[in-house]
Structure 1
Amino acid sequence: MTDKTTSPPPSEEPAGELLLTSPPTFLGSVEGATVEAIAALAREGSVPTILQVPTKGLGPDLPDNVPILWDRHAQKPISLLEEVRAAKPPLERVGTAVVTTLASFIELTNRHKDDGSAIFAKTAWPEPKLTAVIDYHMPGETKTARRGKHRIAYPFPLTDEFKVWVAGHGKTFKQADFAEFMEEHAAELAAPDQYEINTFEPMFKERFGTPAEILDLSRHLEVNVGAKMKSAVRNASGERQMVFETEHTGANGQPIDIPGIFIVSVAPFLAGDAEPEVVRIPARLRYRAAGGEVVWFYQLYRWEFFLRERVQDDLARAAKETSLPAFEGAPEMAA
C-alpha cells in the first residue's frame, strides 16, 4: 500500500501581483491642507517686506523713519533707486523771474534762451512790460507744442521823479508851492531843441521858457490878476505880497511875459548802474486867479505817447541784443 501526500491546490492569483485594498500609510506623510500651508509659508518667506528704519536724530532734514524694502530670502535690502529715478518725470524750468532793469532783462534772457524763445511787450500805460518766454514754440514746428511756463519779466519800474511829474499833471499849486516844486525838480527841466521849438511853438502859439526862466518865474514872479491884487513870492525868504490891478504886470508895474511851454526831461524807468534813458515831454504852463490869489498848474502834453515810444525803443534794443523775435502783445498761453 502506497502512502500519497495530497498537495494543496495551486493559487488562482497570478504570481508577482500584490492587491492592496487601501492606500498605504508612510511614516511622515502629511495631509493636503498641510502641504498648502507649507507652500504658503514658503511663498510668504520669499516676498519682500517693507521695514521702517528709525532715523530720528541721525542728522538734519531727515524724517523720523525711512522705509526700506527687505529681501527676507537673501536677508538684505533691495535697492529701488533706479526704478524711482526711471519713474520720476523730467524736471521742467517753470516760473517767472522778475528783473528791475532793462540790462538785467537782456542778460538773463541771453542766459536761458534757446531757438524757440521770443519776447512779448505791452507798450501802453499804465503797465508797460517786456516778457521773454524762454520755452515758446519752436519756429516752424507744428506737431510739438511747448508750455511757455519759463519766463523773464521786466515791468518797467518807474522812477520817483517820473511819478511826481505825472501825479502833478493838471494839479493846481499855490504860488509858494509851485516855486518849491520847481526848485526841487530843477534837474528835470531842459532847454528845448530846435525840432521842439519848430514843432510845438506854432502848435500852441506859445513860446518855450528855458529852465532859468521857469525857475525865475516860480521864485520871483509878481502877477496882477483881474482887479487890484498883486502877488509876489520869494521862496528863500517866504515874503509874499498880493495886490489886485486890472492888467498883468510885474513888481515894477510893467507888463510881464510868461512863457507858455517848457520841456520836462526825465528818466521814467530805473536803470541801475547804467545811464538812464530819458523822455522829453512838452509841458504847458498855466495860471489863473482863484480865491483871491494866483494859482499855477502844468499839463504834460501826450506824456503817454512819449512813454510808449520809450518802451518801444527798449523793446527794439532787447530784441537786438538777444537776437530774439519781438512782438507787441501777449503769448497765447497763460504763465
Structure 2
Amino acid sequence: MAQKIETTASAPLPVISAGEELEAAIRAARLADPVIDGPDGRRHVFVPRDFNLSQLPDDTRLPAIPAQRVIVDDRASLVTYANRFRDDRSIIVADFDALEIAAHLDWHPHNAMPDSFGQSGALKHSVTLKLRASEEFQRWDAMEGKVHPQEEFARFLEENSSDVGYPEAATMVEISRDFEATVGQSYKSSVRLDNGDRKLRFESETKVMNDVIIPERFTLNIPIYNGEEPDTLTALFRWRAVGGGAVALGFQWHRVEYQRRAHFAQIASTAAEETGLPWIMGRKAT
C-alpha cells in the first residue's frame, strides 16, 4: 500500500526593509576588514559583539611623548614655555650663527640619573627663540660701510637723530643742516682738529667760505636685537671727495660685531638663569 505524503504550503519569506539591507552591508564590510589604524599609531579591531571598538594589545609600543616644536619672538616667551615643560633632561643650546636659542625639553638624561643615563632622549619637544635685528639697527646697518651723497646722508642723520647718544641729537641735526646748506658748493679742503674732529671747507660761487665740523665718531643708543634693551654702539664718521667738488659721507661700525656676540650670549645666559637649565654655545650636528 502506497504511503501517503502530506504537503503543506511553504512559509512566506520575511520582508527586509532598505534600512536593514544597509545595516547588513555595513556589518559585512566591518567583518571583512575589522582592523583600523588610528592617527596616533595605535591599532583597533571591530569585534562581533555589538561591534565595539577595542584596542589591540602591543607590548612593544612605547608610551606617548609630546612632539612639538615652537618658535617664539622674545626671551620672555622662551622662558615661559620652557618653565612649563622642562624636566631634569632639558638643556639650552645657543647658536650664534643662526641667531637661535633653543630649549630642548626632552634632551638625553644626564649622569645624575643612573637609572636612565645612557638612554637617548626623544628630541621631539623644543622651543626656539629666533632673534631678529631691531628696526633701529636695521636702518643704521643698511647705511653702514658705504658713502652717500651729502643731501641723502644729511637727511638720514636728521630723521634718525633721536637714536644718537653723542654728540647730542640737536648737534647731529645741526650738522645735517650744515651739509644740506653746502649742497651745490665746492669742497676745498679738510683740516683735522686737535680733538680728532674734522673741519670740511666749502666755497660758493661768490667765494663765500662755509665750514662744517664733523665729529670723529658718534654713538647710538639702540637695541641690537628686537625686544631687547638698547646698547651703546660706536660709529666712525667717513667722508670722501668726489667729482665736481662734492663730498660723499658715511660711517663704519666700531667693534659692533663683538657687541652683537656678547649680547647674544647675555640673552642665552639670562634665559638659563630664569629657567634653571644648563646652556651651551654651539649647535646640533646635522
Instruction: Say yes or no: TM over 0.5.
Output: yes
Figure out how many residues of one structure are paired with residues of the other and give that number. Answer: 230
1:187 offset after TM fit, Å? 2.2
Q: Which residue of 1 aligns with 2:220?
A: 264
Where 1:306 maps in the other structure, the secondary structure is helix
Where 1:136 maps in the other structure, the secondary structure is coil
Residue 153 (structure 2) aligned to one of 174, 178, 192: 178
Match for 2:106: what amino acid? D
CA contact (8 A) 2:186 2:202 kept: no
CA contact (8 A) 2:158 2:172 kept: no
Residue 245 (structure 1) aligned to one of 163, 188, 191: 188
> Which stretch has the larger CA shift, 290-299 or 87-96?
87-96
- 2:46 & 2:124 partners in 1: Cα distance? 37
Unpaired runs of 5+ in structure 1? 1-48, 54-66, 192-208, 222-232
1:144 offset after TM fit, Å? 1.7
- 2:118 & 2:148 partners in 1: Cα distance? 62
Q: Closer, same or farther in 2 for the Cα pair 1:180/1:121, shift >3 Å? A: same
Residue 112 (structure 1) aligned to one of 63, 85, 93: 85
Residue 281 (structure 1) aligned to one of 199, 212, 233: 233
Where 2:214 maps in the other structure, the secondary structure is coil
1:173 offset after TM fit, Å? 1.2
CA contact (8 A) 2:105 2:123 kept: yes
Q: How many percent identity over aligned positions?
A: 23
Q: Which residue of 2 aligns with 1:149?
A: 124
- 1:81 & 1:163 partners in 2: Cα distance? 59
1:94 offset after TM fit, Å? 2.1
- 1:182 & 1:315 partners in 2: Cα distance? 33
Q: Which residue of 2 aligns with 1:203?
A: none
- 1:104 & 1:117 partners in 2: Cα distance? 17
Q: Which residue of 1 aligns with 2:270?
A: 317
Matched, 1:295 2:248: yes
1:149 offset after TM fit, Å? 2.1
1:81 offset after TM fit, Å? 1.7
Q: Which residue of 2 aligns with 1:100?
A: 73
Q: Which residue of 1 aligns with 2:29?
A: 52
Q: Which residue of 1 aligns with 2:257?
A: 304
1:70 offset after TM fit, Å? 5.1
Q: Closer, same or farther in 2 for the Cα pair 1:257/1:78, shift >3 Å? A: closer
Larger radius of gyration: 1
> Which stretch has the larger CA shift, 319-328 or 210-219?
210-219
Q: Closer, same or farther in 2 for the Cα pair 1:92/1:178, shift >3 Å? A: same
Match for 1:288: what amino acid? R
Paired residues for 1:1-335 under 5 Å: 51-52=28-29, 69=46, 71=48, 76-83=49-56, 89-124=62-97, 127-140=98-111, 141=113, 142-191=117-166, 209-221=167-179, 233-234=180-181, 240-246=183-189, 248-249=200-201, 253=209, 256-271=212-227, 276-292=228-244, 293-331=246-284
Where 2:146 maps in the other structure, the secondary structure is coil
TM-score using structure 1 length: 0.61
Where 2:266 maps in the other structure, the secondary structure is helix
CA contact (8 A) 2:178 2:212 kept: no
Deviations 1:272-324 (A, max 9, x none): xxxx4122211000112112211101001122111111111111110110010
Match for 1:259: what amino acid? P
- 1:88 & 1:50 partners in 2: Cα distance? 30
CA contact (8 A) 1:157 1:269 kept: yes
Q: Which residue of 1 aligns with 2:6?
A: none
CA contact (8 A) 2:70 2:128 kept: yes
1:111 offset after TM fit, Å? 1.1
Deviations 1:223-270 (A, max 9, x none): xxxxxxxxxx14xxxx84313435533676375532110002211222
Match for 1:218: what amino acid? S
Match for 1:114: what amino acid? D
TM-score using structure 2 length: 0.71
Match for 1:189: what amino acid? V
Where 1:52 maps in the other structure, the secondary structure is helix
Q: Closer, same or farther in 2 for the Cα pair 1:249/1:78, shift >3 Å? A: closer
CA contact (8 A) 2:137 2:223 kept: yes
1:87 offset after TM fit, Å? 7.9
Where 1:245 maps in the other structure, the secondary structure is strand
Unpaired runs of 5+ in structure 2? 1-25, 31-43, 191-199
- 1:255 & 1:324 partners in 2: Cα distance? 58
